[in-house]
Amino acid sequence: MLYDPSRMALRNVLVFALGGARYALELRWVREVVSVNAITPVPTAPAAIAGTMNFRGAIVPVIGPAALFAPNPPPDRARLPRVGDQAILVDVEGTRAAVPADRIDEVTTLMEAPREPGKGDAVVDAKGKSIPLLDPPAILAEVLWRVTEAAERLAARLSGEKPDKASP
């Protein structure tokens, strides 16, 4: 299929950098950009959860690189968020989470990139570079799946059951 700009949709996005690469989030999912004051580690939480942070009295999970770059995050992008970093609060059907960011580049409207087999959605910036478009519903589903799996393993271990051999 040839690239036909007249057939590509426009997306309102927030473009940010994380781990040396640029990503975009559709504005419909973005609630606010905040500075991380403190991250509280969660014992026994899977790598999909970097910790939690307090946002106006609510406990918000901070998404770890393992969920953002599933299934295999590159080592150079595996840094966990730190105090002072920025975080993008996303909201999917009432579930709020924080996506870490090294910097916010822009809030803009960009054209969808032509779809490539085996790759997710992307947008094209003013220089013609493709920017991966992250999918918050899929990311939060991945996080929920990993947290549920970790909770089941912990419950089995605490009850004295032998863990399922198929689980990692």
Give pLDDT tens digits for 2-47. 445 555 689 999 999 988 889 999 999 999 999 988 899 888 888 8
Task: Name the average pLDDT for the chain.
Answer: 84
Res 79: pLDDT:
63
Task: Read off the pLDDT of residues 44-93 as tens digits, 9 standing for 90 and up.
Answer: 888 889 899 999 999 999 998 767 765 545 555 556 677 888 999 999 99
How many Cβ atoms from other residues are within 10 Å of residue 97's Cβ? 22
Query: Tens of pLDDT along 85-132?
Result: 899 999 999 999 999 998 999 999 999 998 777 677 899 998 999 999
Listed residue (104, 66, 67, 106) closest to 85, CA to CA: 104
Q: Enumerate residues 6+ apart whose C-beta is below 8 A from 94.
A: none
Q: How far apart are the C-alpha atoms of 52 and 161, rounded to whole Å? A: 29
Q: pTM for the full model?
A: 0.80
DSSP class of residue 7? Answer: G
